[in-house]
Amino acid sequence: MTTHTLFYCPGHLSFAPHVILRELGEPFELALVSIKDGATQSAEFRQLNPKGKVPVLHTGDEVLTESSAILLYLALRFPQALLVPDTAMGLARAVEWMNWLASVLPGTVALNFHPSRFSEDPAAHDGIRAKGRAGILAAYAQIDERLAARDWALGEHYSIVDPMLLIFFKWGNMLKLDMRGFEHWAAHTERMLRRPAVATALSVEQISIWA
């Protein structure tokens, strides 16, 4: 049987596919690629992914990039795990969540973590961070509202969306936001932390959701 290989960096969007691979219980390998050390920009890695980003999943036959695509592939490749709904609307709701999280929020978060990407003028960085913080708080409030009166992102059943939410929760803690104040999301996070696959992924990556 072909073994999947996930190229990842601890604490980044690659965390969600890492969790799902562990949920599946199928054989896989991990390949650490340090963003901080510039490994994603190396010639070797760019041969694998010219975009110079993680996650990357090597299926044994093909190379797949983008967290949403990888998560959807894993769910459809292993349908017995029931990680996406089996209706057209249910699947569309999963894609709706993931597209928003994977495309809109990282840019908003980046305004706080990496203001130099948006301006080379250090005097502008505080304003960029303030703008980013306002955007993050608005988006996080929407997430919290959407999680009200439900255990998981798509309702009653755990799915590929839920690990994505967990890494954004971690980023909120890194930015010193009052994440406990997002009551419904905090409860979702506690449920996530009780899952063995999540605990193992956190241990392997040596990260904490609370820091």
DSSP 102-134: IIIHHHHHHHHH-GGGT-S-GGGHHHHHHHHHH
Q: What is the pLDDT of residues 122-142, one digit of tens each?
A: 888 888 888 888 889 999 999
Q: Is residue 200 part of a domain?
A: no
Q: Are 112 and 175 in contact (CB under 8 A)?
A: yes
Q: Is residue 208 part of a domain?
A: no
The domain containing residue 77 runs over which residues?
4-81
- Output the tens digit of pLDDT for each of the chain's 211 residues: 568 999 999 999 999 999 999 999 999 999 999 988 999 999 999 999 999 999 999 999 999 999 999 999 999 999 999 999 999 999 999 999 999 998 777 678 777 777 887 888 888 888 888 888 888 999 999 999 999 999 999 999 999 999 999 999 999 999 999 999 999 999 999 999 999 999 999 999 999 999 8
Domain count, the chain: 2
Q: Are residues 33 and 96 in the same domain?
A: no
Whole-Å CA distances, 95 to 73, 157, 190: 12, 15, 24
**Do residues 111 and 146 both lie within one domain?**
yes
If asked whether residues 8 and 68 sit together in one domain, one would say yes
CATH of the domain at 99: 1.20.1050.10
What is the rounded distance in angstroms from the CA atom of residue 161 to the CA atom of residue 198? Answer: 13
At 149, list the tokens: 């009166």
Angle at 198 between CA 192 and CA 204, to 5 degrees: 150
